[in-house]
Structure 1
């Protein structure tokens, strides 16, 4: 499971596999919301984040320091003042493999919270898109789709996901590419998982 895949990273970007300590450092609803905003919208301050998320500035500052201690974000040096620090996401692609925690009951709570919050964040992005007013040229090209009649083996499902990732990679511009002036940030969400048939145990 790749954490926050909505922000593609260049091939040269380092990767980090989340362990029990780093998972507990991130697995909090507000910390994950803060991390997502920094991931999607770029650097920000505690004050700006608090206004955006409807939280107390002191609370946001505490969670920012916690994220920094675990290496998820860092202060943007040379910007801001002593009283107003700017924070940005560390350019590392975080990867979480749920099988790493299969025999670690102490991490079960953090893992459950993390996975559920990832799904909640994805749901919130979809509902925000649907609730906002868009010009027809954008409304007509967005999609919220569901395919539920596939029957695949684990190997086939893995191959399907890898093909989707390859398509996204082909459409991801390089780090030096100049964006088209008409382009907007695009969110691509993919959920693919097995379903137990009705009555199955």
Structure 2
């Protein structure tokens, strides 16, 4: 079997690698990730819209310059010309890494307090090209889970108290907070009739 073409996003693993490179891959990583996009690809959210690979390059280089983003890809599914992902950004302003004259670097506890975690759900439209499947459209929403993860104290409380207390209920229901954040597999199944057990991931 031949290996996928460079930039092809026909698998969840390839799409996850693209997302990580865009957010923290440096100049070379962003260039490589943008091979997965069509020339006129659009990134759209409630806050901004970016069109075209050149502008996407500038956008993600500016993002990396402003933030140290420890990105976690939580969930990815690909089926046909649609892909869905849920990622968690952990944004720490890079200015916090600066050395303060007479003081040195800022303490770790302060940096953690100034880290802003939030979860984004993204939907991708893929286009078949001679070089494989490429992203032509990317739309995203900030998840309701971001309300929980927006403060370090709330996150710790959620992880140590709320989730363990509700774990048995969630498990018996067979859905991890499905009404708030259904898995990307379920969302694809609902939208297309596809089931991951019969699919291509």
Q: TM-score range by the shorter chain?
A: under 0.3
- The structure showing larger relative contact order (alpha-carbon pairs under 8 Å, at least 6 residues apart) is 1
Greater strand share, 1 or 2?
A: 2
TM-score by length of 1: 0.24
